[in-house]
């Protein structure tokens, strides 16, 4: 009740205060001088991030006692807060009533949209186009900043190769190159060209380390991986984010080989700050500083705080360890004072970069908040991204697209009308009422058709009655659309699963529809790649849609109707059964390579094919594409040079469509065994029927750099094999070149983005640049 009274009192003051201070200007301070003027308590306050509410009850903890903490300079940031007016008044208290007038940072997990919710991150990665990820992040920043926020805890750039891990939904999948380009794109989108603008927010690349490598796919568990795997697979997206200028990193909950990331000085300070040259804000995850005690590396909260600060963690998210224990830790170890001052300076610099010292109220324009959030333009962008994320996995007898005007459509499955699941995990301020479900989208697209909806279950149970009703609806319809998979609560944080096959109710519903003998389209809605088993073989047409956000239904209706030809691609291999996971296309050959014809004495399971159900990079279209021969600009290059690789691609089908041209590399003989192929270039292109385009990749020799035996990055002399195709398993063109000398390198090969240009070749043969 007290929180409500304070919120009400704040609300009564908001309008006049917001207007009075809308254009307040102060001068950015000399940060060194400001830090020198602060007391130890005030410095520690800057390192203290407090939950101002909960994700479902924002601002609820901002009471009079909390305002007094702000006045005393004992808080540097709040999360789980929002609202231009409310936060404007909270900022006023900090700026006008605290000892040094240092503004606060307001933060939230804005992961794939603020109010306009885009597809979940694994779906955004399925577009295979970093421009889509950047656009999502830009719109997210525009809306979040209009609501008074300065800081998002995104992008999540953890490489996830085990689909049992629930948080695979939050990242870009299994590949370090794809993860790197998507990471950099999102940082650019959130932070814009100039952080001091009023529509930019600080990006946070998380969760630094190897959070996605948790043992057994169990969230929060240890990552017991090799140093090479850490540097070549899990760290490149963080390096790419650092190079793109991310303002902050968040440490992972878990440990790497027994060293918790939140206390890993070698990683946080030695590698990221000293070697990479990055100097932003290092943030702990929720309560992670306190959890160093659980890890077994600290005996008390005081020790935990000292370890985290010494490692390089600048801000403590919610545990209160810094706020309560750092003063004691400093008394025990005065050498920590230098660490404290450095952390305070980095936090103050982030606030200055945002322009908060120049105009602390620029994020609190109530009229802008009303105008930009969930605007028509933003919904249009979300719909476009959703349609571009959908993956066509199978299409027997060209069942899709649907006939032009079906008279009766059966829409079957709870997920077809589940608005909440389409928002996915970390939905920020997304609302169910904003969502167009699959059922809604089909009704809008086919207003003259009779659309019959059957959930296929009763209270989540596939009862005989519900299954019979679903089958009956299918028999009577001209077109049958079945939506199955996971609801939103089966994936996300703390949602790891030991069995990633279809839930029993969904499998039973699939059987009931399949047994009718009617052709039907199956849409898999999920936050992870599921092990579909025989569903993949029995489904006549199969789409993977993930969770597509507020415009899910309109995007799916556009795909089903043929208004849009699907071109999404899998950012992770889909296993046949749970026991095949984790499976990655970029494995090493081993001394006894897997052989489809030899079940013994090769690197394979006896009871499964050697291939996944669907491979990384895979996705079909309503049209067809033909690749010509690859051309290369030179046969030999120096380690510091690049080579241009070109391939012509022609739309040989009847409709316009998009193709994702993928470039893979292999170093067949090296001092360290290399993967059988690694992604190093992507380009999504659109072609009309009969059109042909040349796709030109500029591949740097440095993109072949690997982590050498001596713990350094190396480019080695030798032949490089080039493979270009439509997926990791569908290679259409090959060539090769040679690097003529060995050389040291400074950058992970997977973190170097390969530029790609497209030259459209008209049917007449005239060339124009696209």
Q: How does strand 692-700 pair with strand 756-761? A: antiparallel
Rg of the chain over Cα atoms, rounded to whole angstroms, equals 27
CB-CB contact of 526 with 486 (8 Å):
yes
DSSP 79-138: ES---HHHHHHHHHHHHHHSSS-PPPEEEE--SS-SSS----HHHHHHT--HHHHHHHHH
Nearest to 121 by CA among 560, 549, 621: 549
Site of tokens 């950058």: 747
Query: Residue 8: which H helix or E strand, with range?
Result: helix 2-21
Cα 698 from Cα 705, distance rounded (Å): 16
285 classed as catalytic? yes
Residues in the chain: 770
CB-CB contact of 567 with 621 (8 Å):
yes
Strand partners, 767: 761
Cα 171 from Cα 389, distance rounded (Å): 14
- Residue 260 neighbours by CB under 8 Å, 6+ apart: 254, 288, 291, 292, 295, 297
Pull the structure tokens for residue 177: 């190159």
Cα 337 from Cα 333, distance rounded (Å): 8
Cα 369 from Cα 147, distance rounded (Å): 6
Task: Spell out the alpha helix ranges (H) of 312-458.
Answer: 321-332, 336-353, 366-372, 376-389, 419-423, 438-445
Cα 181 from Cα 399, distance rounded (Å): 34
Angle (nearest 5°) at CA 246 between 242 and 248: 105
CB-CB contact of 470 with 588 (8 Å):
no
The neighbour count for residue 539, using CB atoms within 10 Å, is 24
Active-site position among 109, 129, 255, 285: 285
Query: Residue 391: which H helix or E strand, with range?
Result: strand 391-395
Q: Could you say which DSSP state residue 244 is in?
A: T
Q: Could you say which DSSP state residue 32 is in?
A: H
Site of tokens 């998210």: 317
- Residue 277 neighbours by CB under 8 Å, 6+ apart: none
Strand partners, 453: 411
Pull the structure tokens for residue 658: 């998009």
Site of tokens 């007016």: 85
DSSP 468-493: HHHHHHHHH-SEEEEEEE--GGGSST
Residue 377 to residues 98, 116, 382, Cα–Cα distance (Å): 40, 10, 9
Cα 181 from Cα 309, distance rounded (Å): 31
Site of tokens 């571009």: 388
Pull the structure tokens for residue 204: 């946070």
CB-CB contact of 74 with 45 (8 Å):
yes
* Active site members: 285
């Amino acid at each position: 009740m007290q929180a409500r009274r304070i919120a009400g009192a704040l609300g009564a003051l908001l309008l006049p205060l917001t207007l009075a201070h809308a254009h307040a200007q102060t001068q950015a301070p000399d940060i060194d001088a400001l830090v020198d003027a602060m007391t130890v308590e005030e410095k520690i306050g800057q390192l203290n991030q407090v939950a101002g509410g909960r994700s479902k009850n924002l601002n609820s903890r901002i009471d009079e006692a909390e305002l007094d903490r702000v006045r005393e300079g004992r808080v540097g940031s709040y999360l789980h807060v929002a609202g231009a007016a409310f936060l404007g008044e909270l900022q006023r208290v900090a700026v006008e009533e605290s000892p040094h007038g240092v503004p606060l940072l307001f933060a939230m997990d804005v992961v794939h949209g603020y109010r306009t919710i885009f597809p979940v991150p694994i779906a955004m990665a399925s577009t295979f186009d970093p421009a889509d990820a950047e656009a999502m992040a830009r719109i997210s920043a525009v809306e979040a900043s209009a609501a008074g926020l300065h800081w998002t805890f995104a992008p999540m750039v953890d490489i996830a190769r085990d689909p049992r891990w629930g948080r695979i939904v939050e990242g870009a999948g299994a590949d370090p190159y794809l993860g790197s380009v998507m990471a950099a794109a999102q940082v650019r989108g959130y932070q814009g060209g100039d952080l001091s603008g009023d529509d930019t927010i600080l990006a946070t690349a998380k969760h630094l380390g190897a959070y996605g490598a948790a043992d057994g796919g169990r969230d929060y568990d240890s990552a017991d991986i090799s140093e090479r795997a850490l540097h070549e697979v899990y760290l490149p997206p963080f390096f790419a984010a650092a190079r793109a200028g991310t303002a902050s990193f968040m440490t992972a909950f878990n440990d790497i080989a027994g060293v918790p990331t939140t206390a890993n000085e070698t990683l946080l300070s030695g590698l990221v700050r000293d070697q990479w040259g990055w100097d932003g804000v290092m943030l702990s995850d929720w309560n992670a500083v306190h959890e160093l005690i659980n890890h077994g590396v600290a005996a008390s909260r005081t020790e935990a705080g000292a370890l985290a600060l010494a490692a390089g963690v600048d801000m403590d998210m919610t545990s209160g360890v810094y706020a309560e224990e750092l003063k004691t830790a400093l008394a025990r170890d005065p050498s920590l004072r230098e660490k404290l001052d450095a952390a305070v300076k980095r936090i103050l610099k982030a606030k200055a970069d945002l322009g908060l010292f120049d105009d602390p109220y620029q994020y609190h324009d109530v009229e802008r908040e009303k105008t930009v959030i969930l605007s028509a333009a933003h919904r249009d962008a979300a719909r476009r991204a959703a349609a571009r994320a959908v993956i066509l996995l199978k299409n027997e007898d060209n069942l899709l697209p649907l006939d032009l005007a079906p008279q009766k459509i059966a829409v079957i499955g709870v997920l077809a009308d589940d608005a909440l699941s389409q928002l996915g995990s970390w939905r920020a301020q997304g609302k169910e009422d904003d969502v167009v479900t699959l059922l809604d989208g089909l009704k809008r697209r086919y207003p003259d058709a009779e659309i019959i909806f059957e959930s296929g279950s009763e209270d989540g149970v596939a009862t005989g009655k519900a299954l019979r009703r679903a089958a009956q609806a299918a028999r009577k319809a001209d077109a049958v659309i079945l939506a199955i998979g996971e609801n939103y609560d089966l994936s996300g944080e703390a949602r790891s699963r030991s069995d990633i096959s279809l839930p029993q109710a969904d499998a039973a519903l699939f059987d009931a529809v399949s047994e009718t003998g009617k052709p039907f389209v199956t849409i898999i809605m999920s936050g992870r790649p599921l092990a579909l088993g025989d569903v993949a073989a029995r489904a006549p047409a199969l789409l993977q849609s993930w969770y597509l956000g507020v415009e899910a239904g309109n995007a799916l209706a556009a795909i089903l109707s043929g208004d849009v030809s699907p071109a999404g691609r899998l950012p992770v291999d889909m296993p046949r059964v749970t026991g095949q996971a984790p499976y990655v296309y970029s494995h090493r050959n081993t001394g006894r390579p897997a052989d489809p014809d030899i079940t013994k004495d090769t690197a394979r399971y006896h009871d499964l094919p050697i291939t996944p159900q669907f491979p990384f990079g895979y996705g079909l279209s309503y049209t067809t594409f033909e690749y010509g021969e690859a051309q290369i600009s030179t046969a030999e290059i120096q380690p510091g040079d690049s080579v241009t690789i070109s391939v012509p691609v022609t739309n040989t089908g009847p409709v316009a469509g998009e193709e994702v041209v993928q470039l893979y590399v292999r170093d067949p003989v090296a001092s360290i065994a290399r993967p059988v192929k690694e992604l190093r270039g992507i380009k999504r292109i659109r072609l009309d029927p009969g059109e042909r385009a040349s796709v030109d990749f500029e591949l740097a020799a440095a993109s072949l750099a690997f982590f050498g035996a001596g713990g350094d990055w190396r480019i080695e002399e030798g032949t490089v094999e080039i493979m270009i195709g439509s997926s990791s398993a569908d290679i259409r063109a090959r060539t090769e070149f040679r690097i003529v000398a060995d050389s040291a390198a400074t950058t992970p090969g997977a973190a170097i983005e390969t530029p790609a240009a497209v030259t459209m070749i008209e049917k007449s043969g005239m060339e124009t640049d696209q």
